[in-house]
Amino acid sequence: MFEAKIRADILKEMVNVVTTLVDEIKLNISGDGIQMKAVDPAHVAMVDMTLKASAFKELKADKCEIGVDIDKLKEVLKLAKPDLMITIQHDEDKNNLILTMDNITRRMSLVDTTGMSDPKVPNLNLPAKVTLNVDELSQGIRASESISDHITLIASPDYFELMSEGETDSVNLKVPKKSLKSLEVTEASKSLFSLDYFSNIVKAIGAGRDVNINLGTNYPVKIEFAIAEGEGHVVFLLAPRIENE
């Protein structure tokens, strides 16, 4: 059994995060909320997202899992204003998800979860942690897009830097420690990543938010931020590109 009421803007946040990597997602549902884990088809990035029960206006649920087609959910949300309340019900007999908003009711067939795994989130002890506003990252990405399809993240005790190098040109955005929300570095760290993946993750965060970046040399970057007015939590992991490949 799964019945819930949730604001459209919160549901949109969830969808924006998930659609970064996958078209279908398995929702692990309980009375405590919803958890989603997914790896992109190329196994370059993964997401681990939790939405607490307190993110919902109402939540009644037994422990269950359902598979959702994200594109179908996006179609429904296009019709909804941000503050609109959406009612969600799981019809177990017909294996449908029923979404109701105002006078519109959409029955949505669900996806078979048999082949969907629950990827294990690796426990990474990374030596650099940076907290900054996501708008800084967006600026660095915009500056890099015409230079290369990769971006290097660098953390030192004194600054955090985004750098992109092409065949003839380069660009970097260096943010000193005093301009960051926080900077904790026990070991200077530097890793190279796909700009496309990194850019899509940053877009999913949304403007104006603070984001935590955990970095090591040639290790996956761990990107954490809050959603749903602090009642949800997202972790992205993005694998590095080894520079001598």
**Mean residue pLDDT across the chain:** 94
pLDDT band of residue 244 (cuts 50, 70, 90) is low
pLDDT band of residue 98 (cuts 50, 70, 90) is very high
Statement: residue 6 has pLDDT above 50: yes
What is the reported pTM?
Answer: 0.94
Residue type, 129: K
pLDDT band of residue 79 (cuts 50, 70, 90) is confident
Q: What share of the chain in percent tops pLDDT 70?
A: 99
Contact 36, 112 (CB under 8 A): no
For 63-75, write each residue's pLDDT tens digit: 999 999 999 999 9
Statement: residue 49 has pLDDT above 70: yes
For 182-238, write each residue's pLDDT tens digit: 999 999 999 999 999 999 999 999 999 999 999 999 999 999 999 999 999 999 999
Q: What is the pLDDT of residue 139?
A: 94
Q: What share of the chain in percent tops pLDDT 90?
A: 90
Give the domains, in start order, of the chain with CATH numbers.
2-109 (3.10.150.10), 128-238 (3.70.10.10)
For 145-173, write each residue's pLDDT tens digit: 999 999 999 999 999 999 999 999 999 99
Q: What is the pLDDT of residue 242?
A: 72
